[in-house]
Chains A and B, each alone.
Chain A
């Protein structure tokens, strides 16, 4: 199960964090949690992939929150940025698309990752995000609109 869905979880976290190093760490954390919570997994409530993506999202949210707290805490001390992976996770994409993705928010990238990259259906993606199917469709629509606009602007420039 872990082998089967590892790439999906990793891709989802890459899109959420825009950082391969962080995605790597969070993927490990996600599977650690999954092992601990395996007894609670109920396949009637969704596939293993959906469940792992839910865990991954929760892990990523915890990460973002802790990052926010850390930034606020260190602003007063003018602390340096944490060590980030210099590798661009989207380096294989065309420059316009890469820049557009980089400019999108994590929320937009999240829904694109779930629906486009992982190819989850609307219901599964909505379950991962903890929202309704219609709300999920609206978010995807908005995210794609932003992506399209940014790609077009980049092409014009």
Chain B
């Protein structure tokens, strides 16, 4: 049987192994029997070549110079993932530590609510003018979750007994219903009067049977402001509180010096007016200047009196509402923030990776197609060379 009539893989192997006694079998046996052997001279040459290269040792199988393997790919992927996770983690930790370093010291941060007495009064005259130019001190208390618990009082600084100050505070309180709103407003008015103060503004309104709001502006003697704040705080649940203290003493001192200067000037003009040698015109002119100086003096004294009055009473703005403030979510923990930061950076990394993959997808696909194509082309070219040879 002709070989061409039995083109079968199994029979091909049988023919090669000599099990198939076809017509080609003797030819293959003959080919094997008369296979050429390397000439002795070539053998000697190769032996000499190998002798020269004896020093070349087979490298260790674990050497990194070995070919690329799946183990190497695994190590590379693990290293990449480690770096991808480590970068956000380190970034988050670094940011946390820098935040801690830049955060104000605890004493300063809790000055409004921790009971520490702020130093509002400048102690030296040279510092007065500088202090008076500074913005007023404003303190905000953390919103308590229940009725008066002393924090409101601690958050309100004591007015200075030795210096004139413009003291103002605003408190926003929650009350349960319009009935309580009405009672609280009335109680606030009574308290104000009992403390020797007065009400400057009231705005009270309800809508329906559930909702209502009221705003009051009261003035109480500054010496009783702590007591007022404490009592007002008990009228509801504090939602917001802010205290503002502005120093007026420097301004009063300046006006006092101005008053003294004006008095000296008037005295001097009075003395000049007593001169018998003055002409009528000069006398008239001097009298006009004295009148002008006295008017200026009166204005300055009035201004100083106004400032002193202002400093004797504190302004308290009260707001009552039946609407509950939305609870702010609890601040996330350190670990939570770190994890959030790390997750954010990881998401950004994934975004960049995705972008690169999308942008590079055509090139990657081309490369994946080109690689086997190039291999096939190289193989075909080699085969053509052998066909021609």
A residues near B, CB below 8 A?
Answer: 2-3, 6-7, 9-11, 14, 16-17, 20, 24, 27-28, 31-32, 35, 38-42, 45, 61, 64-65, 67-68, 89-90, 92-94, 97, 101, 105-107, 110, 112, 115-117, 119, 122, 130-131, 137, 140-141, 144-145, 147-149, 151
Contacts and interface: CB of A to CB of B under 8 A. Distances in A.
Interface residues of B, number: 45
Interface in B14-46: 15-16, 23-24, 27-28, 30-32, 34-39, 42-43, 45-46
B160 to A, nearest CB: 88
B27 A64 contact: no
Interface stretch (B121-129, B285-293, B377-385): B377-385
Given A6-B43, A61-B385, A27 B38 contact: yes
Contact of A28 (B36, B45, B52): B45
Contacts, number: 134
Given A116-B31, A130-B382, A10 B47 contact: no
A24 B42 contact: yes
Nearest to B17: A119
At the interface, is chain A mostly helix, strand, loop or mixed?
A: helix
Given A6-B38, A7-B38, A27-B46, 7 more contacts: A16-B389, A38-B56, A107-B387, A110-B386, A117-B31, A144-B3, A148-B24
Given A28-B45, A35-B49, A107-B387, A92 B7 contact: no
Interface of B: 2-4, 7, 9, 12-13, 15-16, 23-24, 27-28, 30-32, 34-39, 42-43, 45-47, 49-50, 52-53, 56, 58-59, 65-67, 379, 382-383, 385-389
13 contacts: A11-B37, A17-B389, A20-B36, A20-B39, A38-B53, A38-B58, A45-B67, A64-B388, A65-B385, A116-B32, A119-B32, A145-B3, A148-B23
Contact of A137 (B12, B36, B65): B12
A10 B37 contact: yes
